[in-house]
Structure 1
Amino acid sequence: MKRLLIVLVLLAACTAQQPEVRHCAPQETGCALGEDGNRNVDLFDTINPELVSTQDIEYFDGHTGFLAMPEAEGTYPGVIMIHEWWGLNDNIKDMAVLLAQEGYVVLAVDLYGKVATTQEEARAYTTAVRNNQAEATRNMQAAANYLRALPNVGEN
């Protein structure tokens, strides 16, 4: 019940009026940049690919996501990462890897099936999700079920 409530709160957040956008998405990255020109993920430690295994996976009805998990054997907490309005881009994947380096199994979901490179595209993709919340809920539930079924994800 707690998890369903979290999913519903996250979906409700998607229905809020779009805030004024104060950043731009460079054509080549499709992600928000800070005032210094760096991606948010660049604020953290360097990614060490030797500590984490990653793969693109299909978790729901043709929807793919990005799975990042610690390379070391063990049981870890699972995290569903929801992308920003640009979509499941390299910035989000890098954040998933950083979180996996800290000892989490991370499934970065893809609510759009594509990555926006302009604010207009991002707005259209977000609106499509907002207008089909039942599908978005099924997507998130499938992601949670996928994570729960992994042998290296703990019950909590």
Structure 2
Amino acid sequence: MTIISSIKHLHGNIENVLCLPRLLSISSTREKNTAGKYRTTTGRKQMLTYEMAHRPHHIGVKKSWLTWHSQNLEEFRQRQPVVIAQDEIIRRFVRGFFPDYIAIDGSELIIKRQGNCVRVAGFFHYRNRLNIREIYWMFGFTEEFLSTLLKQPVKLEIQFVADEKDLAYNFI
């Protein structure tokens, strides 16, 4: 009671004093890191692909084609550690066997499992001229080697682009 009476004495009207804290903000600044959101750069230099441009909560809606595989069935969940190891083997082999053709540091390789078949999809880029015989041989060797190693059929679904900037969905 004494505090309110002293405030009334100083300022005269209690309503003006009670509205004063609403005008001042004493909280800390909001510098939050958000998952799945890329920060803008000066001059819009950073390239975003289609998968990078959409946030993680859109996986079931806008990025659903990445989830069309059979690994969410109950009997496949028991093999999850083996599947993770196989995915890493596939990614490392493709990055190592096609070092000149990998676009965007190999992060855009998509590994889909449909039943017993493993499909590896992604984009490669070529610099000057594409040697078709060499590419067909490398694709065939990769499919045969990974099929023998993993003991299940492996199919490569790779498309070639002239430049990595052709894969850009947006620049931020």
Answer yes or no: same fold by TM over 0.5: no
- The TM-score bracket by the shorter chain reads 0.3 to 0.5
After TM superposition, the score normalised by the length of structure 1 is: 0.36
After TM superposition, the score normalised by the length of structure 2 is: 0.33
